[in-house]
Amino acid sequence: MSKHTLDRILQSQGFGTRKFCLRLVEDGEVSINGEVIADKRLYLETEGLRFTVYGEEWLYREHIYIALNKPADYECSRKPSHHPGVLSLLPEQFSLRDVQPVGRLDHDTTGMLLMSDDGAFIHAQSSPKRHIPKVYVATTQEAVTPALISQLLKGVKLHDEPAPLSAIVCEQLDTHRLQIVLEQGKYHQVKRMLAAAENHCTALRRSQIGELKLEALNLAEGQWCYLTEAQLSQLVSGS
Ligand code: URA
């Protein structure tokens, strides 16, 4: 349980500077339970607090944990250069709360991208020590062969990696598609592994992280959702 003044609550939720949040209240833009709040310094319990800003209702969240079904042609970088950034797919206040992608997907990779403003969560999810499996569906230029599958499972040597990198699971889906499960998240890893095995990745989609399947979230491309406690616990595997 924790109590804060309304202006600080609004600021913590990404609605702007303290000065701006004070003005929001002064201008009658903030209401709770249908009542416009005039007292900017009103002390409120944050847990379970629902408030309305510019007519839109929000639930107070200490941290934000979301999954985005990333479309192609969006960059995960904070300063995107060639394509719009993934943050542009989320409400503006999320950027002010410093919501960031957990790891990165290439601009042309689609599928599940986690995003959060909780540094400890981002760190834990990105840590190679956790061995969190990530499932990708790769479309290949050349047909998938048993030799390709066994090479990816055995390990392929990439230029700047000291040891060969291997998939923990690799299965053929159809003539030109395979499902590959990785525990590391090296730069362009799937594409580079396929290139090292003398094929070429023409499309890539991340379909699952840990036990959490993108399919179960029912998100169209470009849509996002908050993750529930149960869904968050599906992300955690390993130790
Ligand atoms: N591997 C890649 O090559 N690209 C991604 O975006 C993710 C994994």
Q: Is the residue at 64 inside a domain?
A: no
What pLDDT was estimated at residue 200? 97
Same domain, 79 and 98: yes
Q: Are residues 227 and 114 in the same domain?
A: yes
The reply to whether 232 and 137 lie within a common domain is no
The residue range of the domain holding 139 is 133-209
Q: What digits encode the pLDDT tens for the residues 205-228?
A: 999 999 999 999 999 999 999 999
Residue 65 is assigned to a structural domain of this protein: no
- Is 67 a member of any domain? no
Answer whether residue 17 shows pLDDT above 90. yes
Average pLDDT along the chain: 94
CATH assignment of the domain containing 92: 3.30.70.580
Give me the active site residues, please.
Answer: 106
In this prediction, residue 78 has a pLDDT band, given cuts at 50, 70 and 90, of confident
Q: Specify the pairing of strand 110-116 against strand 100-101.
A: antiparallel
**Most ligand 1 atoms within 8 A of CB, residue of 161, 189, 192, 209 to mutate:** 189
Residues with CB under 6 A from ligand 1: 105-106, 109, 188-191, 204
Give yes or no: residues 150 and 185 share one domain: yes
User: In total, how many domains does the chain have?
Assistant: 3
| Whether residues 139 and 202 fall in one domain | yes
Per-residue pLDDT, averaged over 48-60, amounts to 95
State the pLDDT at residue 237. 54
Q: Do 195 and 226 sit in the same domain of this protein? A: no
Q: What is the reported pLDDT for 238?
A: 42
**Proportion of the chain above pLDDT 90, given as a percent:** 88
Output b/e per residue, 107-118; b: 16+ Cβ within 10 A.
bebbbbbbbbbb
- How far does the centroid of ligand 1 lie from the alpha carbon of residue 105, in Å? 6
Residue 1 has pLDDT above 80, yes or no: no
Portion of the chain with pLDDT greater than 70, in percent:
98
The answer to whether the predicted template modeling score (pTM) of the entire model surpasses 0.85 is yes
